[in-house]
Structure 1
Amino acid sequence: MVRRKFLVTGASKGIGLALSERLAAEGHHVVGIARGADASFPGTLVQLDLDDRAASAAALAELAARHDFDGVVNNVGLARLHAVGAIDLADVDDIFRTNLHPTIQTVQALLPGMKARGWGRIVNLSSLVSLGAMNRTAYAAAKAAVISMTRTWALELAETGITVNGVAPGPTETEMFRRNTSVGSEAERRFLALVPMRRVGQPNELAAAIAFFLAEDAGFVTGQTLFVDGGASIGKASL
């Protein structure tokens, strides 16, 4: 197996941490980006607030100069709840900025190196809610935009040796999900009613799907978004 070097954003917890641990166990070098430090991270962890555009540009340029990255996983995100009629435009700006700007910045920073080497993997995290979900207007729209960017970039990079794919998690046992969906809540009940498997996903299950797109064998797959959601994207749970 070829040992690769991958950049993972939002790497210190949830799906990002599960993926980093999986890649490290497979022998790859993981450079993670997170707001907080974590001495137990299974690779190189860079403390950076990706919401700071200028600081991100400088840090990513430095990382791209220091490392020959083979790919990037854009996992960082922000979700806030709003019902139509009570949507806060400042929150809309925050949600779009946090979900889209780091994705664009990381890809553009790493792209020249991947192009020069003729090999690369880009995986963008979207969400089941991109198909529509109550009280998630801005987040759903931002994650739908991630899918659109994934398809566009796949077309633009199709002849470069770089693939661009996405993974769209359903409800997954992460801190961000639980901030808005506490155990036993009405919100959790509504989510589980939409999931044929009637459970939330685990971060390691999402990590497995992402790792597939990063693998050597996935070289003929591009522009795809895989919904890892217990069947929620194909129909509701049985009554």
Structure 2
Amino acid sequence: MVRRTFLITGASKGIGRALSNRLADAGHEVVGVARGKDPGFPGTLVSIDLHDSKASGQALVDLAQRYSFDGVVNNVGLARLHPLGEIDLTDVDDMFRVNVHSAVQTVQAILPTLRAKGWGRIVNVTSLVTTGIPLRSGYAAAKAAVNSLTRTWAMELAETGITVNAVAPGPVETEMFRQNTPVASEAESHFLSKIPMRRLGKPEEIAAAIAFLLSDEAGFITGQTLFVDGGGSIGRTAL
């Protein structure tokens, strides 16, 4: 096995933490980005506030100079709920800043290294909500934008040895999901009614899919969005 170095945003919790554990257990070096601290993190955890595009942009460039990255997982996410008619544009701006700006910044920071190596993996974590889920206009728009970036970047980089793919989870048992969807709530029941498996995903299940797309074996896959959602996207048109 070739030991790789991967950058993961939103690495201290949920899917990001599960993925960090999986990659570290496989012998890879993990550099995580998060706002909080995690003394038990299985790698190097760097505190960067991705809400601040100017400060985070410079911090990511600095990281790219310190580490020889082989890939990035843009996992950080921000979701705020609004019904149509009550959408707060400040919240929309925040969601685009965290979900979209940070993906652009991380990729642009490490791209020169990936190009020089002639090998690289970019995985963007998006969401089932892009297929249409009530109250999530801003979040769905931001994640749909990241799906679009995935396809565009895959086309631009197809001959470089760098692949670009997205993983779109359905509802997963994470802190962010529970902030908007309490246990046994009407919102949870609504979500599960749309999932044929009738359960939430586990962070480790999403991490497994991401880890595959980071692998050498996934070298002929690019520009794809893989739904890991208990069947929730079946019969839906994905953006």
Instruction: Name the structure 2 match of 1:145.
Output: 145
Look up the match of 2:175: 175
**1:121 pairs with 2:121:** yes
Instruction: Please tell me whether residue 232 in structure 1 is matched to residue 232 in structure 2.
Output: yes
- Whether the 8 Å CA contact 2:6–2:69 is kept in 1: the answer is yes
What is the TM-score normalised by the length of structure 1? 0.97
For 2:5 and 2:151, how far apart are their aligned partners in 1? Answer: 24
Aligned to 1:34: 34
Partner of 1:59: 59
SS at match of 2:7: strand
Q: Distance in 2 between matches of 1:57 and 1:137?
A: 26
2:77: which partner in 1? 77
Task: Provide TM-score, normalisation by structure 2.
Answer: 0.97
Structure 1 stretches of 5 or more lacking a match? none
Instruction: Give a deviation string over 1:53-83, Cα, whole Å, max 9, x none.
Output: 1221221111111111000000001000110
Tell whether the 8 Å contact from 1:64 to 1:109 is kept in structure 2 after alignment: yes
Structure 1 partner of 2:9:
9
1:19 matched residue in structure 2: 19
Is 1:92 paired with 2:114?
no
Find the residue that maps to 1:135 and give its secondary structure: coil
Shift of 1:235: 4.8
Q: Give the Cα separation in 2 of the matches to 1:200 and 1:38.
A: 25
Gaps of 5+ in 2: none
Q: CA deviation at 1:51?
A: 1.1
Kindly report structure 1 stretches of 4+ aligned residues shifted beyond 6 Å: none
The equivalent of 1:196 in structure 2 is: 196
What SS does structure 1 have at the residue aligned with 2:73?
Answer: strand
The match for 2:209 is 209
Residue-by-residue CA offset, 1:129-173 (whole Å, 9 max, x unaligned): 011110111111111111000000000000000000000000000
Aligned mates of 1:82, 1:54 — CA distance in 2: 27
1: distance between equivalents of 2:235 and 2:138? 23
SS of aligned partner of 2:41: coil
Question: How many residue pairs are counted as aligned between the two chains?
Answer: 236
Deviations 1:169-190 (A, max 9, x none): 0000000000000010000000
Cα displacement (A) at 1:95: 1.0
Match of 1:221? Answer: 221
Work out the CA distance in 2 between the residues paired with 1:104 and 1:187: 32
- The residue type paired with residue 115 of structure 1 is R
How far apart, in 2, do the equivalents of 1:54 and 1:233 lie?
36
Alpha-carbon contact 1:194-1:235 (below 8 Å) kept:
no
Secondary structure of the residue aligned to 1:45 is strand
Deviation at 1:10, TM superposition (A): 0.2
Contact 1:196/1:235 (8 A) holds in 2 = no
1:95 counterpart letter in structure 2: M
Distance, in Å, in 2 between the alignment partners of 1:169 and 1:78 is 14
How many Å separate the matches in 2 of 1:235 and 1:150?
Answer: 22
C-alpha separation in 1, matches of 2:93 and 2:36: 23
In 1, are the aligned partners of 2:53 and 2:97 still within 8 Å (CA)? no
